[in-house]
Amino acid sequence: MYHESRRAGRFEQIGEAIAYRTAYARLSSQAHADAEDTLNYIFWSNRGEADLLQMAEETVAFTQYLMGYSTYFYLLAAKSFCDVFALKAPAGLDAAVAETFHGMQEIAAPWKW
């Protein structure tokens, strides 16, 4: 198992240090049963206060954004794999990359991320 600094270094080597902190570390935390966002959503959405409800909705939106982010990088990795090994990329791969990126932009726009 890689130590966190080694994982972060791998992202840094490919020019994606921000992606490590923004998505990888956060999604890894979610996979390890970190319930903070779930609890925040439950508490904030049940209070009925507009500001707290907005925070709850942003929590859900950011989780959706991160799922798009991880999908986007997966698709880019698949494309790079095909390029490195001189394989024909699956039909629609470029369109899927563009569609995923566009979906991320749509999620982020209302929040001005």
- Same-domain pairing of 24 and 47: no
- Same-domain pairing of 39 and 29: no
pTM of the entire predicted model: 0.71
- Same-domain pairing of 19 and 54: no
- Same-domain pairing of 45 and 86: yes
The Cα–Cα gap between 21 and 82 comes to: 27
For residue 92, which amino acid is it?
G
- Same-domain pairing of 53 and 106: yes
Neighbouring residues of 11: CB distance < 8 A, sequence distance ≥ 6: 17, 19, 20, 24
| CA distance to 17, 31, 41, 74, per residue, from 5 (Å) | 11, 19, 30, 21
pLDDT at 4 (0 to 100) = 67
Ordered mean pLDDT values, 10 residues apiece, the chain (113 residues): 72 84 70 63 78 82 90 93 96 97 97 93
For residue 54, which amino acid is it?
Q
Q: How many domains does the chain have?
A: 2
- Same-domain pairing of 100 and 50: yes
Q: Which domain holds residue 23?
A: 1-33
